[in-house]
């Protein structure tokens, strides 16, 4: 593995850790004070679960942007916006594929239970506010990834 690949891998790992930490912090603060989340014994654990899912989706969105960049040969800025769009669509749809209808959730009482984030009106707020913030965070990570992994230009003499 050459130094450029190591640098790119290291940057991606660091940005993924940054994304997870920022997502966890944001989700934790967002739902702080919500009676349905704070009444849950494992509220920090539910926050970690949702942050892991959002981080995984952001990585998928990043992969879509990377495929567009390298296979379709589109500009870096367009690839970053493809990542942003995929992330935004995924985050907006979370309440719809988690919700089972009439106050029931698909993963309720399982290891993937994050239902407290989608009760008491948060299922409406999540796609508007939280999804937007998480998608912008994905865009920021894409920008930083491209910025930190650029080949240094060598002066010509």
Mean local confidence (pLDDT), 109-120:
70
User: Does position 16 have pLDDT exceeding 90, yes or no?
Assistant: yes
Residues 6+ apart with CB under 8 A from 90: 57, 60, 61
Beta strand extents in the chain (DSSP E only) = 99-101, 104-105
Residues 6+ apart with CB under 8 A from 131: 88, 91, 92, 94
Q: 148: pLDDT confidence band, cut at 50, 70 and 90?
A: confident
**Percent over 90 (pLDDT), the chain:** 39
Q: At what angle do helices 131-148 and 3-31 cross, to 10 degrees?
A: 160
Question: What's the rounded Cα separation, in Å, for the pair 44 and 28?
Answer: 7
Q: How confident is the prediction for the chain on average, in pLDDT?
A: 82
Name the DSSP class of 105.
Answer: E
Specify the pTM.
0.83
Q: What is the pLDDT of residues 35-75, one digit of tens each?
A: 666 666 667 888 898 899 999 999 999 999 999 988 998 99
């Amino acid at each position: 593995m050459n130094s450029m690949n190591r640098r790119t891998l290291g940057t991606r790992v660091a940005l993924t850790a940054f994304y997870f930490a920022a997502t966890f912090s944001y989700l934790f603060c967002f739902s702080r004070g919500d009676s349905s989340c704070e009444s849950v014994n494992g509220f920090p654990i539910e926050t970690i679960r949702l942050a892991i899912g959002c981080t995984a989706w952001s990585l998928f969105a990043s992969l879509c942007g990377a495929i567009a960049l390298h296979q379709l040969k589109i500009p870096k800025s367009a690839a970053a916006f493809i990542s942003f769009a995929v992330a935004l669509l995924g985050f907006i749809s979370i309440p719809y594929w988690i919700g089972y209808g009439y106050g029931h959730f698909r993963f309720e009482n399982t290891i993937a239970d994050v239902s407290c984030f989608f009760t008491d009106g948060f299922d409406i707020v999540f796609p508007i506010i939280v999804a937007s913030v998480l998608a912008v965070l994905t865009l920021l990570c894409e920008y930083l990834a491209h910025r930190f992994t650029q080949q240094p230009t060598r002066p010509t003499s």
